[in-house]
Amino acid sequence: MADELDGSPILQEALGDALPVLERFHAKLEAEGELKGLIGPRDVSILWERHILNSAAIVPFIKDALGEDRVEGRKKGSIADIGSGGGFPGIVVAAMIPNVPVTLIEPMERRVEWLQECADELELGNVTVLRARAEEVPAKPGFDVVTCRAVAPMTKLSGWTLPLVRPHGHLVALKGRSAQAEIDKAAKEIRKNGGLNPRVYEAPVAEGLEPTHVVIVDKR
């Protein structure tokens, strides 16, 4: 089944230099994703929009968050993606920000194998795959940016992700329409885990496509 956006010029516009690598990722997902239980049967024709472009929408926000570190004189940042599953947003982020190390943290063995295979086949030298639950990963030294998509509501996610963000780093999470309600509900957990100034941004996906939402929380 063909993808609705195969060959569309918006792919180049949204993914830039990472397009060739992400075309290989798309082909691999198309061939193996459903069989391996990583995507649903109806996702096959909307892989670009629902998964790859949706993940790519977070990249400008991550770059912004890392940019602040450069201002502070730190040369390299570090990114962790919690609960990467089939590689969203982690593999897409690693392809689009190839000069920054990206750690993919995922507890399920089969998904860990998939993620490692993707990193190897796509020659993403900046990817490390870690088989763990987020709450088992040592908090130190922490990551400059922790990201995630579709892992848990903010009430739970705060305790899983914020401890892994280094001081003055950021949680940058893809969220659905309920983003503001989720952070309102999780105000106590966010504060307790050292989070400050939680806020929601609308994130453009590509021209003509519905935008998504990004939650950003600063770490004390």
Q: Annotated binding residues for S-adenosyl-L-methionine, as ranges?
A: 83, 88, 134-135, 149
Q: How far is the CB of 84 from ligand SAM (least distance, A)?
A: 6
DSSP of the chain: ---TTTT-HHHHHHHGGGHHHHHHHHHHHHHHTTTTTSS-GGGGGGIIIIIIIHHHTTHHHHHHHHHHHHHTT-----EEEES-TTTTTHHHHHHHSTTS-EEEEE--HHHHHHHHHHHHHTT-TTEEEEES-GGGS--SS-EEEEEEESS--HHHHHHHHGGGEEEEEEEEEEE-TTHHHHHHHTHHHHHHTTEEEEEEEEE--STTS--EEEEEEEE-
Q: How far is the CB of 181 from ligand SAM (least distance, A)?
A: 19
Residues 87-126 that bind ligand SAM (CB under 6 A): 88, 105-108, 111
Q: Does 85 bind ligand SAM (CB under 6 A)?
A: yes
Q: Specify the residue, 85 or 198, whose C-beta has the smaller distance to ligand SAM.
A: 85
**Which residues lie across from 147 on neighbouring strands?**
81, 172
User: Judged by CB under 6 A, which of 33, 77, 83, 163 binds ligand SAM?
Assistant: 83
Residues 128-187 that bind ligand SAM (CB under 6 A): 133-135, 149-151, 160
Q: Does 49 bind ligand SAM (CB under 6 A)?
A: no
Q: How far is the CB of 4 from ligand SAM (least distance, A)?
A: 19
User: Judged by CB under 6 A, which of 11, 82, 157, 165 binds ligand SAM?
Assistant: 82
Strands 143-149 and 195-203 come out as unpaired
CA distance 193 to 189: 6
Q: Specify the residue, 38 or 69, whose C-beta has the smaller distance to ligand SAM.
A: 38
Q: How far is the CB of 90 from ligand SAM (least distance, A)?
A: 7
Q: Specify the residue, 81 or 144, whose C-beta has the smaller distance to ligand SAM.
A: 81
User: Judged by CB under 6 A, which of 15, 29, 80, 84 binds ligand SAM?
Assistant: 84
List interacting residues with ligand SAM (CB under 6 A). 82-86, 88, 105-108, 111, 133-135, 149-151, 160
